[in-house]
């Protein structure tokens, strides 16, 4: 278990501290203690509150990172560890504006400096960010057999499932009967006949219709679900 040097103060039963109500009402809480006027109970409360929250945060860092949290004054390393636990470097996140916040990069297929951003290079060893503009992210198959043949960070083009259908045969022996279609093929007229004064098929005979753009269906050049556009970004360091 990782070590945590930041320990709480004054948390034992019957500790000599103020009640939350007394601490809230204490004038010195906003102005500070006057020289020589602080009482031990008041000081103990201030020390306990600050030490408890620092101890909890430090324990979270130690437990989540597996690294020792040392009372050595190295605030830079401690802050870096905490930031990486909150949002790991390289994880794409949706952002609602065109400009990412400081320390973040767009997932736009651009190259980045692996020297400047070594932690980001651990996630993207090629030094190239994924281009997520206009893309959906899909969970990696990882042997499940649903989306076989894929590698991590591989791109996949759009596609749609194969659509099939069939109809009953149309020939002289079936004239006067209803024809049918199934699947994506729809019969638009049935019961074809030959007029008595003609040697050909009735011009009002059966037809087959295939069209997925039926009433109420949106069509486009690609298949897609409903969506909202966000800007995918990653924390760089």
Sketch out the chain's domains with CATH numbers: 20-84 (no CATH), 90-157+227-236 (3.90.1340.10)
Report the pLDDT value the prediction gives residue 79, as an integer from 0 to 100. 92
Show pLDDT as tens, one digit a residue, over the chain (237 residues): 899 999 999 999 999 999 999 999 999 999 898 887 778 999 999 999 999 999 999 999 999 999 999 999 999 999 989 988 998 899 999 999 999 999 999 999 999 999 999 989 999 999 999 999 999 999 999 999 999 999 999 999 988 777 777 776 665 555 545 556 666 666 655 555 555 555 554 545 555 656 555 555 677 787 788 899 999 999 998
pLDDT (0 to 100) of residue 203: 47
State the SS3 of the chain. Answer: CCCECCCCCCCCCCCCCCCHHHHHHCCHHHHCCCCCCCCHHHHHHHHHHHHHHHHHHHHHHHHHHCCCECCCCCHHHHHHHHHHHHCCCCCCEEECCCCCCCCEEECECCECCCCCCHHHHHHCCCCECCECCCCCCCCCCCCCCCCCCCCCCCCCCCCCCCCCEEECCCCHHHCCCCCCEEECCEECCCCCCCCCCCCCCCCCCCCEECCCCCCCCCCCCCCCCCCCCCEEEEECC
pLDDT, position 31: 87
Residue-level pLDDT at 37: 72
Confidence (pLDDT) at 16: 96
């Amino acid at each position: 278990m990782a070590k945590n040097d930041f320990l709480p103060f004054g948390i034992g039963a019957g500790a000599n501290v103020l009640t939350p109500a007394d601490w809230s009402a204490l004038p010195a809480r906003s102005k500070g203690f006057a020289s020589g006027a602080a009482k031990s109970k008041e000081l103990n409360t201030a020390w306990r509150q600050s030490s408890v929250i620092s101890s909890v945060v430090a324990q979270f860092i130690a437990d989540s990172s597996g690294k020792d949290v040392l009372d050595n004054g190295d605030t830079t390393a401690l802050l870096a560890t905490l930031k990486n636990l909150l949002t790991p470097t390289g994880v794409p996140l949706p952002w609602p504006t065109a400009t990412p916040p400081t320390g973040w990069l767009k997932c736009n297929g651009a190259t980045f400096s692996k020297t400047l951003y070594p932690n980001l290079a651990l996630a993207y060893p090629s030094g190239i960010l994924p281009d997520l503009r206009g893309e959906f992210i899909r969970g990696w198959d990882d042997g499940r057999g649903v989306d076989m043949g894929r590698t991590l960070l591989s791109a996949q083009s759009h596609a749609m499932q194969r659509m099939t259908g069939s109809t009953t045969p149309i020939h002289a022996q079936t004239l006067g009967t209803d024809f049918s279609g199934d699947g994506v093929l729809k019969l638009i007229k049935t019961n074809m006949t030959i007029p008595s004064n003609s040697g050909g098929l009735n011009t009002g005979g059966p037809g087959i219709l295939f069209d997925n753009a039926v009433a109420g269906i949106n069509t486009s050049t690609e298949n897609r679900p409903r969506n909202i556009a966000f800007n995918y970004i990653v924390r760089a360091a």
